[in-house]
Amino acid sequence: MAKSHFAGVIIWRTGPDGIEYLVIEYDSGDGVQIKFPGGTNNDHPGEPLFGKEGTFSREGTGETGLVIPDDLSERDVIYVSRPDPNHTKHFVIVPFERCRGELRTSPKRDGGDMLSPPFWRTAGELLVPVENGGLFWTHRKALEAAERRLSQAVRP
């Protein structure tokens, strides 16, 4: 089995209520899940994580409409999940001002999923139970890592 990866992009900004994160509602027909933009290289075997032709760039841009910086590297990775040696989940953190372009404003079909336009939420709004509109459980540890990173970097 070829090794695959998931690349999640945590885009943040300082909003009126503090740090906000860009998220998307994914509707697969079995209910809506709120997640960070991202996806796998399953349909792109051998695709690297980083660079202009990497999974972070392809998935982040495709799902948000923003051009994700192509100079992301290991220094930007804040969380890696390794539940399976053949598949890892990587999350990078990117300040909104480093992205270019315009946020997507209409729903989008992505394979079998329907994606809402991206929207901003605070960590407090995302850490409520999933059934109350909280962040999907597999993305929560990445949010916690983002909160730790940002508390050291941008908060007094």
Domains of the chain in start order, with CATH, are 4-153 (3.90.79.10)
Structure tokens at 135: 């962040």
Is the pLDDT at 155 greater than 60, yes or no?
no
Looking at residue 33, its amino acid is: Q
Cβ pair 96, 22 in contact under 8 A: yes
What is the pLDDT, as a whole number, of residue 40? Answer: 94
Task: Give the pTM.
Answer: 0.94
What is the pLDDT, as a whole number, of residue 41? Answer: 94
Sorting pLDDT into bands at 50, 70 and 90, what band is 154?
A: low
What is the pLDDT, as a whole number, of residue 133? Answer: 92
How many CB atoms within 10 Å of residue 147? 18
Sorting pLDDT into bands at 50, 70 and 90, what band is 75?
A: very high
Which 3 state secondary structure label does DSSP give 30? coil
Residue 123 exposure: Cα atoms within 13 Å on the Cβ side = 17
